Structure 1
Amino acid sequence: MQSILLVSKKPIEQLRKAVIALTAKSETSHCLLKIILHDAYQADPDYFITEQSLDGGVLNQADAVLYIGDDALYNFHHRHSELFYYDLGEEWKKLTGLPMVYAVWIARHSFAFEHPDLLQHVYKQVTGGFAYGLQHMDQAVAAFVDEVPFTAQQVAYYLNLLNWSFSPAHEEALLTFYTRAYQLGLIAKVPDLEFAEVKR
């Protein structure tokens, strides 16, 4: 996946009592890292939130740092030989045998029941946008690449890594994520997954 990345001064197996800096941008990535470190590596590090970069000296204060999004991709493509890099999507797959669900489209119950036509319209807009983008990937990359510090090849490769569907395996993966997060006290309960009725 490349866009949720742990950068560490030591191998991940040695982070059991480490200090880890977390990006300020994503609570979900915090949960994912804590699940992986606890369940796969029996680790119980101390965490703190920061907006510092590698170049800004964050690893002077921490043993490892978690990045997401463009920050993660940038560090993935600009590696330092003395550091260790861990893609959390790959770590999750190793732990559970399941894909990681990075995003879902949700609606409030009240909205879905009170505005079914509008829900259908939004569904068509979202899925239509995905379909158009996938059919015109080269144009999408060309329009985007000048705004980011990546090559067209890097952007295209990243976009092609993504799975834009939601299969039974993804549903199982999402429930597994929620269950493990609940077991660690990271969320208050495991939510029920209810799917709105829309015309495909």
Structure 2
Amino acid sequence: MSLVIGEISYTNILPIFYYVNREELIQRGCSFVPKVPSELNRAMKAGTVDIGGISSFAYAENKDDYKLLPNLSVSSPKSVGSIFLFSKVPIHKLDNKVVALTSSSATSVNLLKIILGSFLELNVDYVTMDPDYNKMIQQHDACLLIGDDAIRTCWAQKEDIYRYDLGKLWNDQTGYPMTYAVVAARSESLLKNERLVSDLYEQMVKSKGRSKRDHYKGMITSIQRQLGGSATFWHHYFAGLNHDLSARHIEGLLRYYDYAYNMGLIDSPVNNLSLWQGATDWKSV
């Protein structure tokens, strides 16, 4: 048995993975592959990654081939704190302007298109670039950054740039939480490795619960060594995130898919989510 596990290389998904027993899982044939969301999306579609965190948007594009692991996601009830539009002008003045999109994202890129095109009814042109804030903002009117790239940019941001949190903009318009990433598995991988996936799933849910019970303390210390930032900043950041996939999350995600389909961002409607039925119920852990 072997299982290739894709791990989004941003801090926002870390609570799901932090306390997973990697050594044990590696001995059992697992391997962990850290990549930004757009790279994991492509690897899952190609079959080189079996299971892991992917963009919610990528699930919609491949819904017939994937199953979602219940009760796991990267979401925010309101502000997300790491997905930002940086703009030289107020957001409502971006009509007929050019916005640079990070090449690292799928969900957030299309969420921005929904916000600007559907919510604000603006006509905006887009270009996709590597996530380099200085180049993006110098060459264009606004730019979208996600994850740790967005966090580091906020720390160094100049005062004359407007900043908009996409989680807040989504919630202000819809009242729903926004789910940026889900934990998905290729259907054939589940058939071949159901016991191993079940054990991995148990560890992920336990890791999520332990991280929250510990108030993310050990995890934050590790993050500070790698990225810097104060403990206060990181505690506030994780307090604004959520890693569940409740009925309310699913309602919000289906609303997002409705907007995406109506704007022609996905080819077919998504009316429900296909959840893996082999999962043991670890909600109370």
Q: TM-score, normalised by structure 1?
A: 0.92
Determine if the alignment matches structure 1 residue 194 to structure 2 residue 267: no
Structure 1: 5+ residue stretches without partners: none
Per-residue deviation, residues 26-57 of structure 1 (Å, max 9, x unmatched): 12211010001011110121111122634x34
* Residues paired across the two proteins, number: 199
Residue of structure 1 equivalent to 2:130: 51
Q: What secondary structure does 2:183 align onto? A: coil
From 70, 80, 83, the equivalent of 1:4 is: 83
Distance in 2, matches of 1:115 and 1:100, equals 31
Matching residue of 1:176: 255
Tell me, what secondary structure is at the counterpart of 2:264? Answer: coil
Aligned-residue identity in percent: 33
Residue by residue over 1:121-160, the C-alpha shift from the partner in whole angstroms, topping out at 9 and shown as x without a partner, is 1210211221222233111111221110322221221112
Query: Secondary structure of 2:114's match?
Result: helix
Normalized per residue, which structure has more helix? 1
**Deviation larger for 152-161 or 9-18:** 152-161
Alpha-carbon distance in 1 for matches of 2:197, 2:129: 38
Q: Alignment partner of 2:179: what SS? A: coil
Map 1:113-132; keep pairs closer than 5 Å: 113-132=191-210
Give, in angstroms, the shift of residue 17 of structure 1.
Answer: 0.9
What corresponds to 1:98 in structure 2?
176
Per-residue deviation at 1:3? 0.9
1:120 is paired with a residue whose SS is helix
Name the residue aligned to 2:161.
Answer: 83
> 8 Å contact 2:86–2:143 — kept in the other structure?
yes
Question: What is the Cα deviation at residue 167 of structure 1?
Answer: 1.4
Secondary structure at 2:254 match in 1: helix
Instruction: Supply the distance in 2 between the matched residues of 1:28 and 1:52 (Cα, whole angstroms).
Output: 15
When structure 1 is superposed on structure 2, of 19-28 and 184-193 the one drifting more is 184-193
- TM-score w.r.t. structure 2 length? 0.66
| Residue identity opposite 2:261 in structure 1 | Y
Higher relative contact order at CA 8 Å, sep ≥6: structure 1 or structure 2? 2
Following the alignment from structure 1 to structure 2, what is the Cα–Cα distance between the partners of residues 160 and 52? 25
CA RMSD of aligned residues (A): 1.7
Residue 161 of structure 1 deviates from its aligned partner by 1.2
1:107 aligned residue: 185
* CA distance 1:114–1:60, change in 2 (3 Å): closer
- 1:6–1:65 CA contact under 8 A, matched in 2: yes
Alignment of 1:124-163 (within 5 A): 124-136=202-214, 137-163=216-242
Larger fraction in strand: 2
Structure 1 position 63 matched with structure 2 position 144: no
